[in-house]
Amino acid sequence: MDDKVIASSHNTKQKDQLIISHAEINCIIEASKKLHNYCLDKCVLYVTLEPCQMCVGAIQQAKIKKIVFGAKDYKNGACGGLYDFFFIPKMNYYPLISYLENDECLQIIKEYFIKKRKK
């Protein structure tokens, strides 16, 4: 919002033992608390990996203005990777979506899953 970082997070579902603790949802919660408002319609959400179905639902409910992601998720992505939830007819809110293929994002995701598999 106004080119300021309001919240940042990462996936904490193993640490929290909560399936909903994805980075996007953690950021939405943190931003909503800081702004004292659940409506984040002036905010842009930057994420490494394309949001899943659950996160897309939270993004839609928070009315986030724009989503920018650097790696497609062909297994769970809901912004075009596997599904395209924001292009379902009769939805009442459609954020702008920017996919900026980024080698650094792809590397971050690869390293994350390599670490995850070793545990």
pLDDT tens across 40-94, in order?
999 999 999 999 999 999 999 999 999 999 999 999 999 999 998 888 888 888 8
Tokens representing 14 are: 């193993």
Tell me the three state secondary structure of residue 99: strand
- List the domain boundaries for the chain: 23-118
**Residue 24 annotated to the active site:** yes
Residue in 24, 30, 104, 111 annotated catalytic: 24
Q: Over 80: is that where the pLDDT of 115 sits?
A: no
pLDDT for 1 equals 63
Homologous superfamily (CATH) for 23-118: Cytidine Deaminase, domain 2 (3.40.140.10)
Tens digits of per-residue pLDDT, 5-20? 999 999 999 899 999 9
Give this prediction's pTM. 0.85
pLDDT for 3 equals 84
CB neighbour list of residue 92: distance below 8 Å, 6 or more residues apart: none
